[in-house]
Structure formats: structure tokens, C-alpha cells
Structure 1
Amino acid sequence: MKHLALLRGINVSGHNMIKMEALKAALEAIEFTNVITYIQSGNVFVETEEESSFGVGFKIKQEIFKTFGHEVPVIVIGKNDLELCFKNNPFLKQKDVDAKKLYVAFISKELSSSAINELKISQFKPDEAVIDGNRIFIKYDIGAGKTRLDQKYIEKKLNVTATIRNWNTVTKLLEMYEEEL
């Protein structure tokens, strides 16, 4: 079974540095197959007989700590989850939307509909966010680097693990899933 693991916080600003070739070798050593990475920010496809996303994520997290000494949160998502991103992103329905301003925060657990109130989105206007299950669709007005509505804020407010990807990366990851690695 094919899984996509999103690693949070590697190779960012010189922290938790892991070369993708070394990550690939480490994961192959624990019997993942067809390990393919995409860009340096921690997107990795693996194949395994393990069906549980939680089990796959736990195994990857353990191996990263053992091999590289980094405590790295891992969120594993399936092809169906990624396809739902495309179907459910409300910002894609807006006329003339700039895809460069769109992001998705992948969350470690299903969020309740009341979670949007806990985020207090209105204080981030003109940035916008919409919760959809275990992801948050975000449209940044100025840019991801100039907002306080970031992964750290989301994690603190909702008591979850989160990792954010820009829309171009999400699009490419779905293409890679569909290419039958």
C-alpha cells in the first residue's frame, strides 16, 4: 500500500537537516519500498504492507529519531485524502484566485466544526481559513511568511500536530500519487 508522509520542520532555516538521499536509505533499511522524496521539505512516498497511516507515521518518526537524532512530527495521508483537498478547497471556487496564496494545513486528527471558533480566524483578516475534517484550507492575503496564522499557532490553539504545504506542492504530490510510483 502506498502512503504519503509529510514531515514537519525538516530542512527549514538550517534546522533538522536531513538529506533526502539519506532519508530514502534509512526508510528502505526498515523495509519500506519504492521510497520517493519530493523537494527538501519532507514529502516522502513509501510503499508497505502496513495499512495503518498511524503505524506508518510512527515507524518513520522512530527511524528518523534513531538515524538522525531529530524529533520530527509525521502526518501520513492517503491518495483519497489528497483528492478530497482538490474537491473541497473552497478557495478554488473563487473567481481569479491566486493559487500562490493557497495553502493546506494537514492536521493529525479530525477537527470538530467548533475548532474554527478556537482558531479565532477573524483576528487574521484579510487572511482566510476553512476547516474541512483533518485539514485547514488557508488563503493568505499577503503571504505565508507575513502572517501569525501559521503551523505553530494552529498547533497551540487546537492541540494538534500540523504541517502546512503550499497549493503547488499539494498539486504536485497528487500528480505523483497518480503516476503509480
Structure 2
Amino acid sequence: MILITYVAFLRGINVSGKRKVPMVELRAMCERLNLQDVKTYIQSGNIVFKSSIVKAKDLAILLHNEIKKHFGFDVPVIVKTVDGLSQIIEKNPFISQEDIAANKIYFVLLSSQPANELLENLSEETFENEEYAVIDSCLYLKCALGYGRAKLNNNLIERKLKILATARNYRTMNKLLELCNQ
């Protein structure tokens, strides 16, 4: 049996005391689903694991359904292969080491490629102190004032692109890639 390494990104858990998901419980739940070598990283919902299931979308549905059953609330889940994660990081157009060190670079992972018409509509808007680029199923975001003050935040992106999304900073993405390769 061939095992593929994946990363699952959960959206909106453990924020402001809402939708609490203890990482120990989340790992145990994943192991009951026969996911292998399960690791979590920080409380915001990042799971690295191996599985023989070959479709990331099938794993996203499996995790979503099990989280709903186990914890009692809906949590959007986006799953990427380690190769997919690596490509997302490599395609990042915002490579200034100064911006990276200042935590100004974010990856907004999209559940699929957005419709061209919606991307065009978004491109007509301006977001002061923010730059972005959409490449495949990731919106790369540079926030001069930090993500906490960004107008182009996750909720707005989901609304404008009519798609599920979840954001992670540059450091988190690289740490997840490192965990995948251990």
C-alpha cells in the first residue's frame, strides 16, 4: 500500500474561544480514520498525515464529515498533497526577505480555481496597503500593515470569489512543508 503525504487546512477553529478543537482530540479522530503519522501544527487547524486515499477532495470530505460528527460544527477543510503545498510555496510572487521577516506575506488557500469573471471583478477593486496575485488555487497576499488589518481578508475573498478559503502566513506554510518532509 502506497501512502501519500497530505496537509489538511481547517478554517476558523479555536478563534476567540469559539469552535474549540483540541489538537490531541483531533489527532485521535484522524487516527480512527486510518490516517497515518498524524501531526498537528499550532491551534489554528493544520494536520499533516499520510493516507492511501489518492484524491485530496475525498480526504477533505472525510475530515469535514468526521469533524462535524465528532465536534458538532461545520469546519471547512482544504487538503493539499505535499507536492501541491511545495508548488504553492514555490509560486509565491512576494519574495522580499524583509516582507517575509516582518510577517507580511500570506497564502489564502482556495478550495478550487476561482471563476475568471469573479477574478476580473475582484481585480477592479483596490485595497490600500495590500497587493495580491492569484495563481491556480492560491491567492498570495502581501499586507503592508499585517493581516489583522487587511481589508482583503478571508471573509471578503470567500464572498467575492464564491469559494471556500483559509489563510496561513509564510512561516506556517514553510513549517508544514518541513513537517511533511520529516
Q: TM-score when scaled to structure 1? A: 0.92
| Aligned counterpart in structure 2 of residue 40 of structure 1, from 23, 32, 43 | 43
Partner residue in 1 for 2:63: 60
The Cα of 1:112 is off from its aligned counterpart by: 4.8
Which residue does the alignment assign to 2:170?
Answer: 167
| Aligned amino acid, residue 82 of structure 2 | K
**Aligned match of 1:13:** 16
Select 2:81's aligned residue among 78, 81, 85: 78
Residues 11-31 of structure 1 show CA distances to partners (whole Å, capped at 9, x for unaligned) of: 011111010000111111122
Structure 1 counterpart of 2:5, which letter?
Answer: K
The answer to whether the Cα contact below 8 Å between 1:116 and 1:130 also exists between their aligned partners in 2 is no
Question: Which 4+ residue blocks in structure 1 deviate beyond 4 angstroms?
Answer: 112-115
CA contact (8 A) 2:119 2:161 kept: no
Contact 2:8–2:46 under 8 Å retained in 1:
yes
Q: Which of 143, 151, 154 is the matching residue for 2:154? A: 151
**Matched length:** 178
The Cα of 1:81 is off from its aligned counterpart by 1.6
Task: Give the Cα–Cα distance (whole angstroms) in 2 for the partners of residues 20 and 121 of structure 1.
Answer: 40
Which of 78, 91, 97 matches 2:99?
A: 97
User: Greater shift after overlay, 40-49 or 132-141?
Assistant: 40-49
1:176 and 1:121 map into 2 onto residues whose CA distance is: 38
Give the structure-2-normalised TM-score.
0.91
8 Å CA contact 1:112, 1:133 repeated in 2: no
Q: Displacement, 1:147?
A: 1.7
1:69 match: 72
Distance 1:76 1:121, change over 3 A: farther
Q: What is the percent sequence identity of the aligned residues?
A: 33
Is 1:125 the counterpart of 2:134 in the alignment? no
SS in 1 for 2:179: helix
Provide the secondary structure at the position in 2 that maps to 1:128: strand
Q: Secondary structure at the match of 1:170?
A: helix
SS at match of 1:83: helix
Q: Aligned with 1:155: secondary structure?
A: helix
The runs of 5 or more residues in structure 2 that have no matched partner are: none
Deviates more, 1:162-171 or 1:82-91: 82-91
Quote the Cα distance in structure 2 between the aligned partners of 1:121 and 1:24.
Answer: 42
Aligned counterpart, 1:22: 25
| 3-state SS of paired residue (1:10) | coil
Distance of 2:148 and 2:126 partners within structure 1: 17
Task: List runs of 5+ in structure 1 lacking aligned partners.
Answer: none
Query: How big is the shift at 1:113?
Result: 5.2
**1 CA distance for matches of 2:113 and 2:26?**
28
